[in-house]
């Protein structure tokens, strides 16, 4: 189990049945966190979409990642999340704690976060 005990962003593999890669990302987000925010709202809150394609970003094999940065409006309370599917836990983390714990992230997931949110 590569990455066991490390923190990782929700994610999974593209399935043509999902439609787009964004749809796949939203499906994986809901599967792994039990997030109850409807897809149309999540899609309307997408602020950035980036590809991470460095051939050395994973020791497992060549993995290309489509990362999605979503910002919910201020009027939303932080939705509850719970680990599910292949995620043991799911939790929200303040940005300053992301920086303090950069060594606890799986592979390049800290780099993805820092790129997406501008750390």
Q: What is the DSSP string of 47-64?
A: EEEEEE--TTS-SSS---
d(CA 80, CA 60): 31
**Tell me, what's the pLDDT at 98?**
94
Contact 119, 95 (CB under 8 A): yes
- Residue 1: helix, strand or coil by DSSP? coil
Q: How many CB atoms are closer than 10 A to CB 1? A: 5
d(CA 74, CA 60): 38
In this prediction the pTM is 0.85
Specify the DSSP element, H or E, that contains 70: strand 65-70
CATH topology of domain 16-117: Nucleoside Triphosphate Pyrophosphohydrolase (3.90.79)
Domain coordinates in residue numbering, the chain: 16-117
Q: Is 66 exposed, middle or buried (0-12, 13-18, 19+ CB in 10 A)?
A: middle
**Tell me, what's the pLDDT at 92?**
93
Going by C-alpha positions, the residue among 60, 77, 70 that lies closest to residue 10 is 70
**Tell me, what's the pLDDT at 18?**
67
**Tell me, what's the pLDDT at 99?**
93
- What are the pLDDT tens digits along the chain (119 aa)? 677 789 989 988 887 776 888 999 999 999 999 999 999 999 999 999 999 978 777 777 777 889 999 999 888 888 999 998 777 899 999 999 999 999 999 899 999 999 999 87
**Tell me, what's the pLDDT at 85?**
78
């Amino acid at each position: 189990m590569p990455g066991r005990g490390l923190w990782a962003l929700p994610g999974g593999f593209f399935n043509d049945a999902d439609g787009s890669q964004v749809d796949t990302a939203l499906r994986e987000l809901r599967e792994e966190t039990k997030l109850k925010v409807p897809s149309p709202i999540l899609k309307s809150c997408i602020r950035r979409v980036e590809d991470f394609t460095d051939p050395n970003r994973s020791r497992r094999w060549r993995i290309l990642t489509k990362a999605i940065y979503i910002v919910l409006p201020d009027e939303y309370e932080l939705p509850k999340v719970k680990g599910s599917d292949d995620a043991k836990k799911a939790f929200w983390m303040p940005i300053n704690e992301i920086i303090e714990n950069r060594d606890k992230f799986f592979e390049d997931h800290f780099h993805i976060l820092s790129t997406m949110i501008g750390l």
